[in-house]
Amino acid sequence: MSCCGRAGCRLDDLTADAELQEKSAADVKKMVDLLLSQCQQAVKEHEEKNKDLTSTTATASQQTQPQPTSAESRML
């Protein structure tokens, strides 16, 4: 298993903390890999959602900005 942050490097500590000592090392590794994968997917989805939301908000903001009147345009 590659070290993916502190959690991956401390598999024995995590196993003890979660009271999973009766589980095989292979089972614990599978659970850690699954948890890590799902967390990475959730972060990716969150970032994409925020990116889409930011893009949508910027477009909506540009569309709702009032246009200067002809008198205001002459003053600029």
Task: Please indicate, yes or no, if residue 57 is contained in any of the structural domains.
Answer: no
pTM of the entire structure? 0.53
Give residue 2's pLDDT.
47
43: how many CB neighbours lie within 10 A of its CB? 10
Give residue 52's pLDDT.
82
Cα-Cα-Cα-Cα dihedral sign, residues 59, 65, 69, 73: negative
Give residue 60's pLDDT.
64
Q: What is the DSSP letter of 22?
A: T
Task: Please indicate, yes or no, if residue 70 is contained in any of the structural domains.
Answer: no
pLDDT tens-digit profile, the chain (76 residues): 445 556 556 777 877 887 888 888 889 889 889 999 999 999 999 999 998 888 777 666 666 666 666 666 666 5
Task: Please indicate, yes or no, if residue 58 is contained in any of the structural domains.
Answer: no
Task: Please indicate, yes or no, if residue 24 is contained in any of the structural domains.
Answer: yes
Domain of 30 in residue numbering reads as: 8-41
